[in-house]
């Protein structure tokens, strides 16, 4: 097992009572991607340790900043929101996108 996988495994084990070990970011309309990441997490033994964070859809943004595209703004705001949510737990947390493919080492 590589060091990163071992560190994540230890963190997940040590934070069982404090809340989620992490979050996965997922758009409400991306049901298939949600199922895929939930299957990935189940495959490595963490089906309930990660919580879904509803991504901000670019179509819902009311303001336009011409320096960045609406999709970029939605992505940024989603990541900011998940960091704020995770910070409330008072511990470390891990963030995944809903298209992550987890290594076998993650589960080892």
**pLDDT one digit per residue (tens) for the chain, 108 residues:** 556 656 655 655 554 445 568 999 999 999 999 999 999 999 888 888 899 999 999 888 877 777 888 888 899 999 999 999 999 888 889 999 999 988 877 765
Which three-class secondary structure state does DSSP give residue 9?
A: helix
Please give the pLDDT value at position 15.
47
Residue 79: how many CB atoms within 10 A of its CB? 16
pTM of the predicted structure, to 2 decimals: 0.76
């Amino acid at each position: 097992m590589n060091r990163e996988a071992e560190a994540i495994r230890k963190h997940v084990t040590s934070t069982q009572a404090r809340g989620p070990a992490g979050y996965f970011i997922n758009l409400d309309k991306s049901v298939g991607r949600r199922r895929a990441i939930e299957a990935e997490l189940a495959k490595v033994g963490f089906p309930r340790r990660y919580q879904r964070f509803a991504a901000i859809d670019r179509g819902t943004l009311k303001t336009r900043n011409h320096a960045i595209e609406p999709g970029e703004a939605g992505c940024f705001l989603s990541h900011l929101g998940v960091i704020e949510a995770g910070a409330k737990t008072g511990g470390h947390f891990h963030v995944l996108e809903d298209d992550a493919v987890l290594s076998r080492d993650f589960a080892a």
